[in-house]
């Protein structure tokens, strides 16, 4: 599969047409997606029309956009006018969006071709894409394993060569963890850098849209299109991503002692891959230093209280009256009860109940307020760590991709898959997962770099230099 950068170059040089690039992706999807299950729907008609429009612009000599002819998949929680969006849930089965999300529109404005909607854990709640109401996506590296979640369909689509770029959303690691499991690049931009308008909200103070790609250059290209202020999103920032002089020599890489001194729960293969990345960083001229994130031990608990509390509020609109398919009942309360019982899956119900409980009278201070205090302390930990380091290196997940069905009946064990990614969202940082090798069984291993807000460019430069040195 051509990368996005290669595709744009060839189309602008008139050595490739957008329709040809698209048909190549369709061919790959038809050959293998029956086995992988990355897509819930492929937009054949509208995608071909978009590709033809790009080719018409090229023929008439009109300027082409930065993503000219690049096929892009979007996660099933992003609005696209005239197309279905279900958030992987039965409650939105058949829903057709009347408008387009800002992030998706920015892709279209730069001549990208929206190829289809990718499978996901229901309402982005999950770490394996087994919580989708429609199908279970499989890992292209081993179809007996999960692709990660909740953006598992997006990660699998890129890893399988179905498209060069896919959009995901990341609330607690839902871009970075599947990227690591599938062996691709996954960027969680700084909170507020990419508009959330048109993204179905899970936890509004944590959600962020970002790209999954097969190269770091494609991730950088995608972010250059996505990052912009949007007056439709009150959390969107006007501050652009920072550009700064870059030199690997003397670059300070922080290693949290809470993660590296005792790698308890981390598989030997993940630990070995992180050691390799540390050595590559040093070989490229960086220096490593121990930093401390003492409150990260509480991050998982704080995250599930905060995110579930926000989800219980955000998902209140899906009641069969305002949004969602409705089930008839004897009373309004009965309609609500039957609609949500049928429409929501067990993981969504679990988190709604946790959120409602955490926000209820008598428990708000004990749970929700305390979790917010932990969030503040964690942010202070990162502020202190970044006085000693330019970036922070961590694992993405304690293990490589696990088997389908292995953890689905054990929610706490499943939640631990995100233990290293959650702190980034709580603190609003920039974070990226990048390939760090493979296990003995051939499964991808990912490493994570975290940076201060709006330092995505620094992350791209570091990964580029490490890969060049290697």
Report the alpha-carbon angle 307-309-313, nearest 5: 110
Cβ neighbours, 10 Å, residue 315:
26
Per annotation, catalytic residue among 89, 128, 132, 150: 150
Start-to-end C-alpha separation, the chain:
23
CA 184 to chain centroid: 11
234 neighbors 20 (Cβ within 8 angstroms): no
Contact 344, 317 (CB under 8 A): no
Tokens 């744009």 correspond to what residue? 8
**Distance separating alpha carbons of residues 28 and 411, to the nearest angstrom:** 34
Q: Which two tokens stand for residue 274?
A: 């992180």
Angle at 445 between CA 293 and CA 213, to 5 degrees: 95
Nearest CA-CA partner of 206 in 449, 368, 427:
427
Q: Using CB atoms within 10 A of its CB, is residue 310 exposed (0-12), middle (13-18) or buried (19+)?
A: buried
Of 57, 75, 188, 407, which one is the catalytic site residue? 75
Alpha carbon distance 76, 150 (integer Å):
11
- HSE of 186 in the Cβ direction (CA atoms, 13 Å)? 41
In angstroms, what CA-CA distances link 154 with 420, 457, 463?
21, 23, 21
Task: Report residue 75 CA to chain centroid gap.
Answer: 9
Q: Is 174 a catalytic residue?
A: yes
The Cα 46–Cα 202 span in angstroms is 28
Question: Which SS3 state, helix, strand or coil, does residue 24 take?
Answer: helix
- The catalytic residue among 169, 174, 417, 439 is 174
Residues designated catalytic: 75, 150, 174
């Amino acid at each position: 599969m051509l990368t996005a950068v290669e595709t744009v170059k060839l189309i602008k040089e008139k050595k490739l047409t957008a329709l040809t690039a698209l048909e190549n992706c369709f061919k790959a999807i038809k050959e293998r997606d029956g086995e992988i299950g990355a897509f819930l729907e492929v937009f054949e008609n509208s995608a071909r029309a978009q590709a033809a429009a790009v080719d018409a612009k090229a023929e008439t000599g009109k300027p082409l956009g930065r993503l000219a002819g690049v096929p892009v998949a979007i996660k099933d929680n992003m609005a696209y006018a005239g197309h279905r969006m279900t958030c992987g849930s039965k409650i939105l089965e058949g829903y057709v969006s009347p408008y387009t999300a800002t992030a998706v529109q920015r892709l279209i404005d730069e001549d990208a071709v929206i190829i289809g909607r990718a499978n996901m854990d229901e309402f982005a709640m999950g770490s394996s894409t087994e919580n989708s109401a429609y199908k279970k996506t499989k890992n292209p590296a081993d179809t007996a394993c999960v692709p990660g979640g909740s953006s598992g369909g997006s990660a699998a689509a890129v890893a399988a060569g179905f498209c060069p770029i896919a959009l995901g959303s990341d609330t607690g690691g839902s871009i970075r963890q599947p990227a690591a499991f599938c062996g691709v690049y996954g960027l969680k931009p700084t909170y507020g850098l990419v508009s959330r308008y048109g993204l179905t909200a899970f936890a509004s103070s944590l959600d962020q849209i970002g790209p999954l790609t097969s190269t770091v250059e494609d991730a950088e290209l995608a972010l250059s299109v996505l990052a912009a202020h949007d007056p439709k999103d009150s959390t969107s920032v006007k501050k652009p991503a920072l550009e700064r002089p870059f030199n690997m020599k003397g670059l300070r890489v922080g290693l949290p002692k809470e993660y590296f001194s005792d790698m308890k729960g981390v598989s030997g293969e993940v630990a070995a891959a992180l050691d390799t990345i540390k050595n590559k960083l040093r070989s490229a001229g960086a220096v490593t230093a121990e930093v401390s994130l003492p409150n990260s031990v509480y991050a998982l608990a704080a995250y599930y209280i905060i995110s579930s509390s926000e989800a219980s509020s955000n998902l209140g609109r899906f009641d069969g009256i305002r949004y969602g398919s409705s089930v008839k009942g004897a009373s309004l309360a009965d309609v609500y009860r039957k609609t949500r019982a049928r429409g929501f899956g067990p993981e969504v119900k679990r988190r709604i109940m946790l959120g409602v409980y955490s926000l209820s009278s008598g428990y708000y201070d004990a749970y929700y307020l305390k979790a917010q205090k932990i969030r503040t302390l964690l942010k202070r930990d990162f502020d202190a760590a970044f006085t000693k380091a330019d970036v922070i290196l961590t694992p993405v997940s304690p293990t490589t991709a696990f088997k389908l069905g292995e953890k689905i009946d054990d929610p706490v064990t499943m939640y631990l898959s995100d233990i290293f990614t959650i702190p980034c969202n709580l603190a609003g940082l920039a974070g990226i997962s990048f390939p760090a090798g493979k296990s003995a069984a051939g499964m991808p291993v990912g490493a994570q770099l975290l940076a201060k807000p709006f330092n995505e460019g620094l992350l791209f430069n570091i990964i580029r230099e490490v890969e060049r040195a290697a």
